[in-house]
Amino acid sequence: MDLRSLRYFVAVAEERHFGRAAARLHMTQPPLSRAIKQLETELGAVLLHRSATGVTLTTAGSALHDEARALLEQAEVARARVAAASGATSITIGTLADSVEHVGSGLVTAFRRHHPGIDVRVREGDFTDPTAGLRAGLVDVALTRTPFDDTGIGTHVLRTDPVGAVLRADDPLAGKDSLRVHDLADRPWFQLPEGTDSRWRAYWNGTRPGGEPHHGPVIRTVQECVQAALWNGIVGLTPLSHTMPAGLVAVPLADVPPSRLVVAWNTTSTDPLVRSFIRLAAR
């Protein structure tokens, strides 16, 4: 019985579903199912009642869940002490827009509890770099949104948000329950600068029916988006979880895939603080 097996079990126990747990762990379902079955074999006890709708904990599973969480917490404390002993004294976190707020204060509390003496620096990026400084080596870890070229970069999805079109509140389409991209085909849209990650541009810039790109002003920051929408009625995309300022609304777009908030890191990193941050964010 190792820590990885316990981490897998805790995820299944908390999600009550193998598919959701696999997504949380950033893995596929078959190896997760095999790992839980192997854990049950090692312990000689059935830990989960499986059904078509999900799983529930057995009495043995409930007992293990409490113990497993305590063991994982102790392991995290041990990692924090190792990080401190190794001389690591700071970590720089890259953020994009309000990604930190959407992760929540729980991550801050957990990281501070495990690493009380660490200097945490936050660098806010703009829309020209979806890795928020990670690829350029300006930050150690990033809270951002996909899609982007992830060569050499690992990601773990923290939440998935549907997206909508940003419109002026007095726009004739602002009161609709939902829209499709073709409903806005003739409107000017926000554009990202040339040279910006192509997958990132393709997602946020959108295309008109027939594959033609939208036209509109180039923007780099959230405030530029807001002001262009307020003053000139420029259309853009936003996760529906974002709070719209006065004068603007976000109408759901039915034919645009959701936006995924992720924690991202360089796969070559061996920094124990980075690894701890990833584990805490994923948890």
Please check whether residue 114 is in contact with residue 280, taking contact to mean a CB–CB distance below 8 angstroms: yes
User: Is residue 178 domain-shared with residue 244, that is, in the same domain?
Assistant: yes
CA 90 vs CA 53, 93, 273: distances in Å? 44, 10, 8
Residue recorded with tokens 């923290």: 158
* Within a domain: 263: no
User: Is residue 31 domain-shared with residue 14, that is, in the same domain?
Assistant: yes
The helix/strand/coil state of 266 is strand
Among the candidates 77, 111, 142, a domain finishes at: 77
* Within a domain: 275: yes
Q: What pLDDT is stored for residue 126 in this prediction?
A: 84
DSSP code, position 182: G
Q: What pLDDT is stored for residue 271 in this prediction?
A: 85
Quote the domain boundaries for residue 55: 3-77
Q: What pLDDT is stored for residue 27 in this prediction?
A: 78
What whole-number distance in Å separates Cα of residue 244 and Cα of residue 261? 18
Closest CA to 234 of 214, 254, 253, 210: 214
User: Is residue 145 domain-shared with residue 180, that is, in the same domain?
Assistant: no
What's the angle, vertex CA 108, arms to CA 106 and CA 113, rounded to 5? 95
pLDDT in tens, the chain (283 residues): 788 889 889 889 888 888 888 877 767 888 899 999 999 999 999 999 998 888 899 999 999 998 888 888 787 667 666 666 666 678 999 998 777 777 777 888 888 888 888 889 898 888 889 999 898 888 999 999 999 999 999 999 999 999 999 999 999 999 999 999 889 988 999 888 888 888 998 888 866 555 566 788 888 888 888 899 999 999 989 999 888 999 999 999 999 999 999 999 999 888 888 999 999 998 8
User: Is residue 167 domain-shared with residue 250, that is, in the same domain?
Assistant: yes
What's the angle, vertex CA 86, arms to CA 82 and CA 90, rounded to 5? 100
User: Is residue 60 domain-shared with residue 110, that is, in the same domain?
Assistant: no
Non-local (6+) Cβ contacts of 132 within 8 A are: 94, 95, 96, 99, 123, 124, 125, 139, 142, 143, 144, 264
Among the candidates 77, 99, 125, a domain finishes at: 77
Task: Write the CATH number for 50.
Answer: 1.10.10.10
* Within a domain: 158: no
Closest CA to 180 of 201, 209, 203, 218: 209
* Within a domain: 113: yes
The helix/strand/coil state of 74 is helix
Cα 85 vs. chain centroid, distance in angstroms?
A: 30
How many domains is the chain partitioned into structurally?
A: 3
User: Is residue 200 domain-shared with residue 232, that is, in the same domain?
Assistant: yes
Task: Write the CATH number for 179.
Answer: 3.40.190.10
User: Is residue 41 domain-shared with residue 109, that is, in the same domain?
Assistant: no
Q: What are phi and psi of 246, to 5 degrees?
A: -55, 135
* Within a domain: 216: yes
* Within a domain: 18: yes
- Answer yes or no: pTM beyond 0.85: no
* Within a domain: 186: yes
* Within a domain: 262: no
Among the candidates 16, 50, 77, a domain finishes at: 77
